[in-house]
Amino acid sequence: MIQIIPSSQRHHADHGWLDTYWQFSFGDYVDPENMHWGRLRVFNDDTIRGGGGFDFHAHHDMEIITVVLRGALEHHDNLGNRGVIRPGEVQVMSAGKGIFHAEQNASKTDPCHLLQIWIIPRHRGSTPRWEQKPFDLIGRRGKLLPVVSGGDVPQTLSIDQEAQIYLCSLSSQQRASHPLRAGRMAYLFVMEGQVELNGKKLKVGDQARIADETQLDLADGRDAELILLDLP
């Protein structure tokens, strides 16, 4: 089963400093029929205008992954962590028993375009932590590059869940595939360009929610930039 949800069907909100698209029920967008996909709880496509950002706020018992597509995002938290994430880097914040943090556009003038992903953890009340890591953009050309895992995939950032996140750049001459184990779900989002997933066409902003498939085949990429989640 592959359910394609076009970009136009996402929930959209413009708060002035923040222009955002929400894939799942979140904030003041309430939809009991659209709460999660497997252990994926939130997938937000945010553009923060220059000088804008999220002031200090709390999270708990959630694995929060940030991928910056354009611009730069500054993070700081009550544990003393501070960093700026840019395209090619991925950030993980395991909120655990509780963490306060703020996220600001690192530029006063240029927008910052990012994805923020929340995954429900295996355990509650864990020790909070934060980490970010650069990944070579060349390393994802024509293949699915693992960037996040439950700690079982070398060279990835770790989260407290048996989930994997992959990034991929795909041209028209390239193909990539990913096997899905029985009982697993997957989620594909097109960050740029367009692609075919098992023969189904997706363009920028489209998402695919996947279940009961044994293999995912990606082909016919047109300057495609993709993110794939393999989920329990």
Same structural domain for residues 125 and 152? no
The two structure tokens encoding residue 73: 């995002």
Reported as a pLDDT band with limits 50, 70 and 90, residue 52 is very high
Query: Final residue of a domain: which of 129, 160, 188?
Result: 129
Same structural domain for residues 16 and 121? yes
Same structural domain for residues 108 and 173? no
Query: Final residue of a domain: which of 97, 129, 161?
Result: 129
Q: What is the DSSP letter of 60?
A: -
134 strand-pairing partners: 89
Same structural domain for residues 65 and 163? no
15 pLDDT higher than 90: yes
Q: Within a domain: residue 190? A: yes
Same structural domain for residues 124 and 159? no
* CB proximity list for 168: less than 8 A, separation 6 or greater: 140, 142, 143, 144, 145, 176, 218, 224, 225, 226, 227, 228
Closest CA relative to residue 161, chosen from 43, 79, 40, 58: 40
Q: Within a domain: residue 1? A: no
| CA 82/CA 74 separation, integer angstroms | 7
E strands present in 38-175:
40-48, 53-59, 63-70, 73-77, 82-85, 89-94, 99-105, 112-119, 129-134, 145-149, 157-158, 164-170
Same structural domain for residues 122 and 184? no
Predicted local confidence at residue 169, as pLDDT: 97
The domain total for the chain is: 2
179 pLDDT higher than 90: yes
Query: What CATH number does the domain containing 76 carry?
Result: 2.60.120.10
Q: Within a domain: residue 5? A: no
**What share of the chain has pLDDT > 90, as a percent?**
97
Reported as a pLDDT band with limits 50, 70 and 90, residue 27 is confident
Q: Which domain holds residue 110?
A: 11-129
Same structural domain for residues 153 and 107? no
Same structural domain for residues 110 and 22? yes
Q: Within a domain: residue 3? A: no
Closest CA relative to residue 71, chosen from 22, 99, 111, 20: 111
Q: What is the pLDDT of residues 109-147, one digit of tens each?
A: 999 999 999 999 999 999 999 999 999 989 999 999 999
69 pLDDT higher than 90: yes
| CA 15/CA 54 separation, integer angstroms | 12
For 206, counting Cβ atoms within 10 Å of its Cβ (0-12 exposed, 13-18 middle, 19+ buried), the class is buried
Q: What is the pLDDT of residues 84-109, one digit of tens each?
A: 999 999 999 999 999 999 999 999 99
Same structural domain for residues 90 and 147? no
Query: Final residue of a domain: which of 129, 146, 179?
Result: 129
Q: Within a domain: residue 2? A: no
